[in-house]
Amino acid sequence: MPPGMRSSICGLVLALITVIVVVVNQRDVGVARDEVVYMQHGSRYADWWVGLVTLDHGPSKDSITRSFGGKGPTDGNREHPPLAKTLFGLSEKLFHDELGVASELTAYRLPSALLHGLCVWLVYTMALALWGFAEAVVAGLLLLFLPRALFHAGLACFDAAIMTMWFATVYAYWRCLDGRRWPWQAGVAFGLALATKHTAGLLPFAIALHYAIVGYRSGRWRGLVLHRWRLIVSFVVLSPLVLALVWPWLWFEPVAHVRDWITFHLRHVHYNFEYLGENWNAPPFPWHVALVTTLVTVPVVTLVAAALGTGAWIARRDEVTYPDRAPGLLLALSAAASIGPFFLGSTPIFGAEKHWMPALPSLCIAAAVGVVWAGRVAFGVLAAWRPLADRWRYPLIGALATIVVGAAAVETFTAQPYALSSYNALAGGAPGGADLGMNRQFWGVAARGVLPVLAREAPAAGAPPVSVYTHDAAPAWGVYHRLGLLPKTVRDAGWEQQGIDRSQLAIVIHEKHFNRHDYLIWRSYGSVQPVFVLRVAGVPLVSVYRRSARD
């Protein structure tokens, strides 16, 4: 087998392993609040596309508005572009409704898992092109073994998807700097990124600056535009076309609809988010949120390796493949464009690390360079100290990589399925994160962990249903019923005090700003005592209350 083919197969195997790990892992992950919205609208979008292809309807303004839009700013979930949602809906139709090979939830989430596998493959492929096989494998594995990224990749949300599309654009752009005649890949990839999540709009800052630097080096002032001018055309022409092609909402009144989309995010409400013991819901936010959050959520060994790799890369920048295309600079600018806005103090910080996930491929490639460089240099030292055959070089590098990747894997699997509450060893794990006052969780995902407790409270046959106050988990309740995780006789009681007052059971998903739910329940139930507290590593995630029989 030619070495090139062997390398390609290895990359595909890594991607496949990633998809399997994500799919298996997500089975224990609860349904996120926003995920329910994306699944519902994804199904509507998928229905529309299927109807269009099967000629059930045409692309009329009315049918598009019914499925993709409306008068309100969030009608049809039009504040988010449709690509990922459409894939979720199509996947559910195919793998659950038609083939019956996956549960409803897994089928919705499968596109995220596949895209995460694609991201690992892209990282592997770029690292392979830049440095070599060892770096490529380590980079792919370090991306797989990121606790929070693995968690997000298992949700039918946009965060893993945009990381993939962002990095696909970076990689395609970098490849297209070779001067090819038709660099369509870059424009198409960026169009897909825009159709995935609005944060793709940050990427041009990185690419434009990189292009300017590379162009200037190549042709001085003339090179600023003309160095690879077809790339500019690709971005300017193809990206909007691709975005419009996959988003029927832009097929009429496109300027107004794009303006609405961008305006929604520029004026986005600031959700509550705990950081270093304080609840933040209004700017100015601390400038260091992104820095500290990354330091305590990425495996420590990956961070150390990335620091080593950055140093090694700078020292050996002329040894990298195609140094004229400045790949190190491109990866650095890509990461900076993704994470940079969170240093401003005005960018919403809720969601934390998921909003700068596109920085992670750069980090993992740098980490892989660091691991392999450290291994090679250590081999050189050993060989100089004691005679050592050259055939031991790769086993030694492999051993070092194994222990590094192993540590990242331990962090990653320890964090599941409550990775939003997990912090790395530097923070002291989940308890250390709680001590630091870092955000406990969001989206109500952990409610899944108390479903068995609630299911035990189901009434006997013929008895009236039991109502549960579910607050942040309310949107997911129907999904839990359909998945069979909860009897239909254990139903959602409704919102706020009215819901609590008619409930027999209540849950509180612990976040600092959700303390208020505890107090509403105390007042109604006349007790401060929960009957069960779900914990991860001893840290409370969800409390369950039961109304006293005398009430």
User: What tokens were used for 42?
Assistant: 């994804």
Provide DSSP, 379-426: HHHHHHHS---GGGHHHHHHHHHHHHHHHHHHHHHHHTT-GGG---TT
Q: Which of 57, 66, 175, 316 binds another protein (CB under 8 A)?
A: 316
Tell me how far, at minimum, the Cβ of 139 lies from another protein, in Å: 13
The verdict on 374 binding another protein (CB under 8 A) reads yes
The verdict on 313 binding another protein (CB under 8 A) reads no
Tell me how far, at minimum, the Cβ of 306 lies from another protein, in Å: 11
In angstroms, how far is the first alpha carbon of the chain from the final one? 74
Peptide bond into 284 cis (omega under 30): yes
Name the segment binding another protein (CB under 8 A); options: 58-66, 253-261, 294-302, 471-479.
294-302
Q: Which of 114, 123, 206, 305 binds another protein (CB under 8 A)?
A: 305
- Using an 8 Å Cβ cutoff, are 174 and 325 in contact? yes
Task: Give Cβ neighbours of residue 39 (< 8 Å, ≥ 6 apart).
Answer: 88, 89, 92, 108, 156, 479
CA distance readout (Å), 227 to 210, 233, 321, 323: 12, 12, 19, 16
Q: Which of 380, 395, 459, 484 binds another protein (CB under 8 A)?
A: 380
Residue 430 or residue 451: which is nearer to another protein going by CB?
430
> Of residues 127-156, which lie at the interface with another protein (CB under 8 A)?
131-133, 135
Site string (412-451) toward another protein, x via CB under 8 A? --x---------xx--xxxxx-xx----x-----------
Peptide bond into 452 cis (omega under 30): no
Strand, helix or coil at 103?
Answer: coil
Tell me how far, at minimum, the Cβ of 420 lies from another protein, in Å: 15
SS (H, E, C) 258-315: HHHHHHHHHCCCCCCEEECCEEECCCCCCCCHHHHHHHHHCCHHHHHHHHHHHHHHHH
* Separation between Cα atoms, residue 264 and residue 105, nearest integer Å: 28
Residue 140 or residue 370: which is nearer to another protein going by CB?
370
Q: Is 132 left (phi over 0), alpha (psi -120 to 50) or beta?
A: left
> Of residues 7-36, which lie at the interface with another protein (CB under 8 A)?
none
Q: Which of 57, 175, 230, 376 binds another protein (CB under 8 A)?
A: 376
> Of residues 85-124, which lie at the interface with another protein (CB under 8 A)?
none
Q: Which of 167, 379, 442, 469 binds another protein (CB under 8 A)?
A: 379
DSSP bridge partners of 539: 536
The verdict on 403 binding another protein (CB under 8 A) reads yes
DSSP bridge partners of 506: 469, 545
> Of residues 319-358, which lie at the interface with another protein (CB under 8 A)?
319, 321
The verdict on 314 binding another protein (CB under 8 A) reads no
Name the segment binding another protein (CB under 8 A); options: 88-96, 166-174, 342-350, 373-381.
373-381
Name the segment binding another protein (CB under 8 A); options: 62-70, 125-133, 446-454, 496-504.
125-133
Residue 256 or residue 403: which is nearer to another protein going by CB?
403
Return the residue matching tokens 């009897």.
487
> Of residues 478-517, which lie at the interface with another protein (CB under 8 A)?
508, 510, 512-513, 515-516
The verdict on 289 binding another protein (CB under 8 A) reads no
Residue 138 or residue 186: which is nearer to another protein going by CB?
138
**Count of chain residues binding another protein (CB under 8 A):** 77
Return the residue matching tokens 């988990």.
473
The verdict on 282 binding another protein (CB under 8 A) reads yes
**Other CB atoms within 10 A of residue 217 CB:** 12
- Using an 8 Å Cβ cutoff, are 83 and 196 in contact? yes
Residue 135 or residue 159: which is nearer to another protein going by CB?
135
